[in-house]
Amino acid sequence: MSVNTVFPNAISIKELKTDIIRAYADKNIDLSDSIWATSICSDEVNNLFPEFSHLFAGPGPFTMGGISGLPFTGITGLKAFLSHMPDNGAAMIIYGPHIGYSSDEEVGFMNRQNQSAKSASCGSLHAALGALKADATPDENSLDYQQSQVFNMLNSHKEDILAADDQLKKATEVAYESINTTMHQIVDAVRKDLSGIRLYLIGGIIINTDWQDDDYFQVHHQEFYEF
Ligand SMILES: [Zn+2]
């Protein structure tokens, strides 16, 4: 099955770049007067956007996410990021979880360079799902703070996830909804204190293929804020 069969409307990272350039042109904003941030999982497999650094004011991106892609930097992080906006400029945030799709069509796994076996993606969501299936209870271990938050996020949708045909794919969709909701809550919290901001949000799910193949982004949400 192709990537698009499993993840309808997923586009290549190059197509995503073209869409961003078009969106900025439609708004008459010069990309070089804009900065960008991500809220995606820390996994190095998600370093997919090196070309974007040449589009935007440098060096970018501001990193809002931690493991799973939840925007762990919160209100303080977003305020800091927006304070770095060029004069009369704009800002963009790409956010969402990630999921593997290997060349032998296994969802949740992909092959990394120089590894003989396939590897989990997203490892954080795999681990949280495993804890869910083991009936683990919420744990606030300060040495594993982010993962405890990821577990809590999935645990509040436990029945839906465990009833799904593909539990990891469902957990990824739940993670997307949670990241999207949290991102909007953070934007709403800062907009009352700031003005003169133009902010472009792009939310979706990153699909990691085997290391030698191009990766994809399934766009779920695009919104342009002015406040
Ligand atoms: Zn991950």
Examine the pLDDT at 5 and tell me if it is beyond 90. Answer: yes
DSSP assignment string, 32-63: GGEEEEEE--S-GGG---TTHHHHSSSS--EE
86 band by pLDDT with thresholds 50, 70 and 90: very high
Ion ligand 1, residues whose Cβ is below 5 A away: 41, 43, 122, 124
Give the CA angle between residues 193, 195, 198 to the nearest 5°. Answer: 120
> Quick check: 86 and 197 in contact, CB under 8 A?
no
Examine the pLDDT at 37 and tell me if it is beyond 80. Answer: yes
Task: Tell me the three state secondary structure of residue 67.
Answer: helix
The string of pLDDT tens digits covering residues 191-213 is 998 889 999 999 999 999 999 99
The string of pLDDT tens digits covering residues 125-134 is 999 999 999 9
- CA dist 99 and 209 (Å) reads 9
Q: Distance from the CA of 26 to the center of ligand 1, in angstroms?
A: 33
Q: Distance from the CA of 156 to the center of ligand 1, in angstroms?
A: 19
Q: Distance from the CA of 123 to the center of ligand 1, in angstroms?
A: 5
Taking alpha carbons only, the member of 52, 120, 66, 119 closest to residue 95 is: 66
Place of tokens 């999207």: 180
Question: Average of pLDDT values for 49-68?
Answer: 93
- CA dist 124 and 97 (Å) reads 10
Note the pTM of the prediction, 2 decimals: 0.96
142 band by pLDDT with thresholds 50, 70 and 90: confident
Question: Average of pLDDT values for 30-57?
Answer: 94
